[in-house]
């Protein structure tokens, strides 16, 4: 039995916005919805939802490599300034960044995961090459976007600071949290799920596995509400180990089948503390040509 199918049918958004679409559910962020989202903020407080990019103390995965910031110029290099007319004591400091695109708080592009040898909208998985990157659905197609952000604070709704490492979030738990917050989902929403995991990890860095997160049914629940994006304060949105033993099953439901971009490793602690469940949310991805992901710093205004 294929747990990703209902009555033998795989539900998708393929072709919904045309055969050549590479933007997916972000098409739902119409100017009307963005303007409506601008009316949400009540306090004007700004929340930065990213975690640091650094060598240690954050959930880096060994197979991806460790992010490195290397100094290329500093106070020892004033000769360059002096060679161009500068005086002693005048100079500049510069860095070089070497890091995986899927590091720290980052956004997955729609080409990141494939199933049945296809990515979103039926494009072939081998349209991603080693040198040229992704020919279709790459992160540079995203740019910047904004809309109504909704926090679903599952951990708080279940009366805990952090869900158990093996906790698989269900649709009923999402409904319970939304009801407790007196919030309803709407088409085009940018939905952020709080498990409490990243807060616990940053306070006491250790093993990155296992992690609580969405189960397959919860991912399907969100896709059924026509959301534009799903983010979470863990490293994969979905639970790890993967629910029902389906490798990357949540990614397949959201990214591949429904064209819903994902943002991982979010810092949602301050939103939770303020009980800020609805907000204006803006996200800008780096225009990495052919990229499968981009580090991002989502900004919420409550």
Q: Can you give the pLDDT at residue 208? A: 85
- Give the tens place of pLDDT for each residue, 206-248: 888 999 999 999 999 999 999 999 999 999 999 999 999 999 9
Q: Can you give the pLDDT at residue 7? A: 62
Q: Are 281 and 149 in contact (CB under 8 A)?
A: yes
Average pLDDT, the chain: 94
**17-26, 34-43, 95-104, 183-192: least confidently modelled range:** 95-104
- Nearest by Cα to 12 from 262, 221, 216, 257: 257
- CATH number for the domain formed by residue range(s) 24-62+100-301: 3.50.30.50
Is the pLDDT reported for residue 80 higher than 80? no
CA dihedral 260, 133, 51, 98 (to 10 degrees): 180
pTM: 0.94
Name the residue ranges covered by the structural domains of the chain. Answer: 24-62+100-301, 67-98
Q: What percent of the chain has pLDDT over 70?
A: 98
- For 73, counting Cβ atoms within 10 Å of its Cβ (0-12 exposed, 13-18 middle, 19+ buried), the class is middle
Q: What is the DSSP letter of 242?
A: P
- Nearest by Cα to 134 from 147, 121, 145, 146: 121
Of these ranges, 21-30, 52-61, 120-129, the one predicted with the greatest mean pLDDT is: 21-30
For residue 300, list its beta bridge partners. Answer: 47, 281
Work out the pLDDT band at 65, boundaries 50, 70, 90: confident
Phi-psi region of 237 (alpha: psi -120 to 50; beta: other; left: phi over 0): left
């Amino acid at each position: 039995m294929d747990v990703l199918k209902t009555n033998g049918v795989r539900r998708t958004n393929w072709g919904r916005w045309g055969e050549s679409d590479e933007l997916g559910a972000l098409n739902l962020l119409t100017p009307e919805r963005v303007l409506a989202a601008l009316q949400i903020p009540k306090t004007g407080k700004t929340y930065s939802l990213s975690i640091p990019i650094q060598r240690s103390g954050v959930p880096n995965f060994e197979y991806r490599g460790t992010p490195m910031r290397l100094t290329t110029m500093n106070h020892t290099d004033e000769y360059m300034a002096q060679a161009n007319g500068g005086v002693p004591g005048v100079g500049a400091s510069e860095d070089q960044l070497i890091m995986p695109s899927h590091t720290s708080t980052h956004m997955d592009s729609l080409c990141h995961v494939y199933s049945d040898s296809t990515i979103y909208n039926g494009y072939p998985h081998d349209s991603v090459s080693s040198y040229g990157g992704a020919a279709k659905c790459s992160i540079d197609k995203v740019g910047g976007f904004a809309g109504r952000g909704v926090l679903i604070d599952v951990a708080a709704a279940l009366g805990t600071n952090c869900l158990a490492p093996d906790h698989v979030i269900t649709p009923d738990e999402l409904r319970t949290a939304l009801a407790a917050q007196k919030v309803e989902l709407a088409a085009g929403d940018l939905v952020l799920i709080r498990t409490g995991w990243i807060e616990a990890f940053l306070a006491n860095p250790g093993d990155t596995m296992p992690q609580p997160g969405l189960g397959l049914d919860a991912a399907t629940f969100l896709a059924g509400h026509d959301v534009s994006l799903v983010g979470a304060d863990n490293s994969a949105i979905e639970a790890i180990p993967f629910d029902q033993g389906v490798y990357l099953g949540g990614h397949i439901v959201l990214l591949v089948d429904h064209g819903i971009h994902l943002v991982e490793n979010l810092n949602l602690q301050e939103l939770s503390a303020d009980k800020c469940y609805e907000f204006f949310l803006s996200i800008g991805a780096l225009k990495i040509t052919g990229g499968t992901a981009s580090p991002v710093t989502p900004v919420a205004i409550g």
